[in-house]
Amino acid sequence: MIETNSITLTKKIILTASKPINKEEFLKKILEFADRLVKFLNANGCEKLGHIKFISTTDGEDYLQVSVLDCNEKPTIKGALRNTFAKINMTLNIIEFGVNKDNVARKIDEELQNINAYFNTA
C-alpha cells in the first residue's frame, strides 16, 4: 500500500499596492490564483483536496473569503471588501494529499510574485 501524506500549508501575506486596488479587480486576481493553483495540484498528483482558503481583510472590519473545496467545482465567495484599498492582509491555507509541500510552496510563491507585480506595475 502506498502511503500518501497530507500537507497543510498556511501563508500570511501583506499586499501593498502602488495605487489603489479595486475590490472587483482583486477578486478577479484571487480567483485566477486559485484556478492556477488547482490546475497545478491536479497536474502534480493531488489525490484529494481538503481545501484552499484565501481570507483577506483591509482593516479587520471587512473580509473576503474565497474557498475551494473540490478541484472540480468553482470557488465559493463569502463576505465583502471596501471598494478600493492600497493594503490588504491575506491568509492562504491549503490542505491537500499527494503533492510535495515544497512544490506547493514554490507554486504559491510564484503566484504571489505575479499578483504583487500586477498590482505594483505603473
Closest CA to 10 of 75, 79, 107, 95: 95
What is the structure's pLDDT at 59? 82
Contact yes or no for 52/104 (Cβ under 8 A): no
Say how far apart CA 6 and CA 100 lie, in whole Å: 9
Higher pLDDT, 9 or 3: 9
Average pLDDT of the residues in 44-61 = 93
Q: What is the DSSP letter of 72?
A: T
Domain spans of the chain, in order of start: 6-119
| 3-state DSSP assignment of residue 56 | strand
Global pTM reads 0.90
Cα 36–chain centre separation? 10
C-alpha cell recorded at residue 12: 500570511
What is the structure's pLDDT at 122? 52
Report CA torsion sign: 81, 55, 34, 78.
negative
